[in-house]
Amino acid sequence: MLSFTERVIKIIQKIPPGKVMTYGQIASLADSPRGARQVVRILHSMSAKYQLPWHRVINAKGEIAFHDEEMFLSQKEFLEDEGVMFKHNHIVDLKKYQFHPLLDDEINDLK
C-alpha cells in the first residue's frame, strides 16, 4: 500500500488542465479526510521535485488560498491560461471546474 504522501502526489498528478481539486478532497481520496493541511505541506515541499500542477489545487470555497499577492496572481493566471474562469474575480465555480476522478478505476489504483 502506498503512503499518504505517495497517494497525494499521484492524485495531484492526475488533475487535468482546466480542472481543480480542493485540499480536503485530495486528502479524503488519499484516505485521510482530515489531512488537508498535510496536502498543503506536500504541495509546498514536493511540487518542484515531482512537477506537480500545484496551481490546480484550491480551497473548499473555490478560492486560491495564497495571501501573498504575487503567488495569488500567478496561480490565478495559470488557471485562466487553462480556461478556468473566476466568479467575482477570485472564486472558481467548483460545480463546473472541480475534477472528480473515477473512484473505481483511478483512485483504487493508488491503494
Domains and CATH numbers, the chain: 4-100 (1.10.10.10)
Q: Is 11 exposed, middle or buried (0-12, 13-18, 19+ CB in 10 A)?
A: buried
Helices and strands, number each (H, E), in the chain: 5, 4
Cell of 105: 478505476
The answer to whether the beta carbons of residues 47 and 86 sit under 8 Å apart is no
Residue pLDDT tens, the chain, 111 long? 689 999 999 999 999 999 999 999 999 999 999 999 999 999 999 999 999 999 999 999 999 999 999 999 999 999 999 999 999 878 999 999 999 987 545 555 655
- Using CA atoms, how far residue 8 sits from 21, 36, 95, 109, in Å, is 12, 10, 22, 12
pLDDT, position 2: 83
What's the pLDDT score for residue 106?
A: 59
Q: What is the pLDDT of residue 1?
A: 67
